Amino acid sequence: MSEARTGGSGRRAFLNWFFGTALGGLLVMIAYPIVRFISPPRIPEATTNQVEAGREDDPELREKGFKIIQFGLEPVILIEVAARDFRAFSATCTHLDCIVEFQKQKKRIYCNCHAGVYDLSGRNVAGPPPRPLTPYRVDLVENTPGQPATIVVSKA
Ligand code: FES
């Protein structure tokens, strides 16, 4: 009789353990996706303070008068206004976030989405953009005398 009790007690303990862990596993399976959905992923902040944008004789700059570079997560438009006169602004239009371009012939920054116009100081001068473009600082760094300088863009 005591052996039967021991066997029954063992089965009950096994069933308690089995259903206890199954219930625990089920709760984890339900809770984990919810917690992952609620907590944002850990993405490091862009801590870029300075970007090398190529050499001053960059063929793309010479041909189009501008190029779009990445400054951390931010697209930046680098413009060659005249020889050795470079300017940089956030390339994100202040209206609805389209990427702007430089129109060399008209000497203006233009947004194709809704015909927004900025002057060469980044000021919004026509169309729907409500604010100027954020300016960036541009420096020419001479690495080797007699060689084209490196264009360095940094936060203004
Ligand atoms: S997004 Fe640039 S003018 Fe509308």
d(CA 123, CA 126): 9
**Ligand 1 within 6 A of CB of 92:** no
Maximal CA-CA distance, the chain:
103
pTM here? 0.71
d(CA 127, CA 134): 17
Q: Give per-residue pLDDT as tens, 59-103.
A: 989 899 999 999 988 999 999 999 889 999 999 999 999 999 999
CA of 130 to the centre of ligand 1 (A): 9
Regions of the chain short of the pLDDT cut 50 = 1-3
Determine phi and psi for 69, rounding to 5 degrees: -120, 165
What is the position in ligand 1's atom list of the atom closest to the CA of 96?
Answer: 1
**Ligand 1 within 6 A of CB of 65:** no
**Ligand 1 within 6 A of CB of 110:** no
